[in-house]
């Protein structure tokens, strides 16, 4: 079914997936910027450095880094 809407390589599908991924990243980054206290929770950032000084909660709900490894810590 090449060239149909069901094709995973369809240009529209690819564009929507990219837009959704970008939207999710922006939302995650904003959420972290709006919660600066999360930077205190220990985490590895995308640059390979360990940030924070507080042990993370055992349930893992309070994430101090986005899914792509970004954190609002000092640059």
- Cβ atoms < 10 Å from Cβ of 24: 13
Token digits for 26? 């922006």
- The mean pLDDT value of the chain amounts to 84
**pTM greater than 0.85 (yes/no):** no
Express each pLDDT in 54-72 by its tens digit: 888 888 777 888 888 888 8
Give the distance, in angstroms, between the CA of residue 55 and the centroid of all CA atoms in the same chain.
Answer: 20
């Amino acid at each position: 079914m090449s060239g149909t809407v069901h094709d995973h390589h369809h240009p529209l599908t690819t564009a929507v997936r990219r837009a959704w991924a970008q939207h999710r990243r922006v939302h995650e980054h904003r959420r972290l910027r709006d919660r600066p206290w999360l930077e205190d929770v220990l985490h590895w950032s995308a640059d390979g450095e360990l940030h924070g000084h507080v042990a993370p909660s055992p349930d893992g709900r309070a994430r101090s880094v986005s899914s792509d490894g970004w954190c609002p810590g000092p640059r």
